Amino acid sequence: MASGSGPYCSAPVTSGSITTTANQFTLSSPVLNLNEELGVLVTVQLCWTPSATQTITVKLYQGSVSGTQVGPSGGLVVTGTGTTEQQASFAFVDNSAYAQNQAGAQYVAGFTASTGTGTVDYAFVEIETMAQVL
């Protein structure tokens, strides 16, 4: 991706379940070639229906859920209440060597629920290269 290009989005996912099993539900970015000295911004969009009050933890990984984790070790967290559809956005900045120069790069977001099962209604991953503002 050329400097400042993007966003580049995955196809939306409109079904799936987020459970208490770590990373049972995952969402992958498109495969891309990175060459930007400042890295990339990865945004994960999630619209889900909790089975009750529920905390969702999202962790982002380079390549696969066994790859290097991006962002805080505990992931990013959101709480949904009740059983009505909820929406959340999670933003990760990767300025590692992987994000700066990687052919065939891909990111995978893994979701884990604190309790019960959350039904995924709509989710996607968006990637943008970071460029200097002149």
The tokens for 121 are 């209604």
Question: Which domains does the chain possess?
Answer: 16-128 (2.60.120.260)
Q: How far apart are CA 52 and CA 104, in angstroms?
A: 39
User: What average pLDDT values come out for the chain (134 residues) when binned by 10 residues?
Assistant: 67 96 96 90 97 95 97 96 94 96 96 96 94 77
- Residue 100, classed as helix, strand or coil, is helix
Q: What is the pTM of this model?
A: 0.93
